[in-house]
Amino acid sequence: QQQVKQSPQSLIVQKGGISIINCAYENTAFDYFPWYQQFPGKGPALLIAIRPDVSEKKEGRFTISFNKSAKQFSLHIMDSQPGDSATYFCAASMAGNTPLVFGKGTRLSVIA
Amino acid sequence: GAVVSQHPSRVICKSGTSVKIECRSLDFQATTMFWYRQFPKQSLMLMATSNEGSKATYEQGVEKDKFLINHASLTLSTLTVTSAHPEDSSFYICSAEKEDTPYGYTFGSGTRLTVV
């Protein structure tokens, strides 16, 4: 049973455009929802994260939108740049030394 | 910020041999460390959770006798792949959760294991 479903699997966006990646979760005990960026051969790096008590969080060009009732959250990358080309993973976890559960990832390509 | 150092970054070993991967939390104490495996173009799959001073908890389908995890101190956890086979070739990543910092996950840079 996949606990975190991520879409799309791949995404091509023009430079300057908006990249949108979506995730849905099933376990209502999850209360932490981060997004990670991973480049080939590297470990994942935290981009931005949100808790269920807010519906949106923005950090620079990155925004998380969170819909608790729908059990969905999304990442928006504004003014996408070629350097943003990477694989993005959504994840979820709950309190108490529990591991992150990852979505399957989205390969983003930003083309000039 | 919190840093997790993972070594080696790449290793090639012969089939049947064992390989040890180390993860160290450099500037914080990690009561819990998580080990993930990532096959090419796939997601991170949790292998096991280790808590300092106790036995690791393995996910279903992960052979505990093949993937030995030791978390002997608050700053070091090791994963030993025993009797490695080509199908064990993968990217192994550790993650440490900082003591007293909920959701303070810090990832290592990963180890690319190739078994020939």
CA angle (A58, A60, A63) in 5-degree steps? 35
| pLDDT given for residue A1 in this prediction | 56
Average pLDDT of chain A, as a whole number: 95
Chain A residues touching residue B103 (CB < 8 angstroms): 32, 34, 49, 93, 95
Q: Is the predicted pLDDT of residue A18 greater than 60, yes or no? A: yes
Q: Two tokens at B11?
A: 């290793």
| Encoded tokens for B13 | 């070993």
Distance between CA B86 and CA B46 in Å, rounded?
A: 20
The tens digit of pLDDT for each residue in A64-110 reads 999 999 999 999 999 999 999 999 999 999 987 899 999 999 999 99
What pLDDT, in 10s, does the model give residues B11-59? 999 999 999 999 999 989 988 999 999 999 999 999 999 988 888 999 9
Residue of B41, B43, B71, B92 best to disrupt the A interface, most CBs of A under 10 A? B43
Q: What is the mean pLDDT of residues B81-99?
A: 94
pLDDT band for position B98 (cuts 50, 70, 90): confident
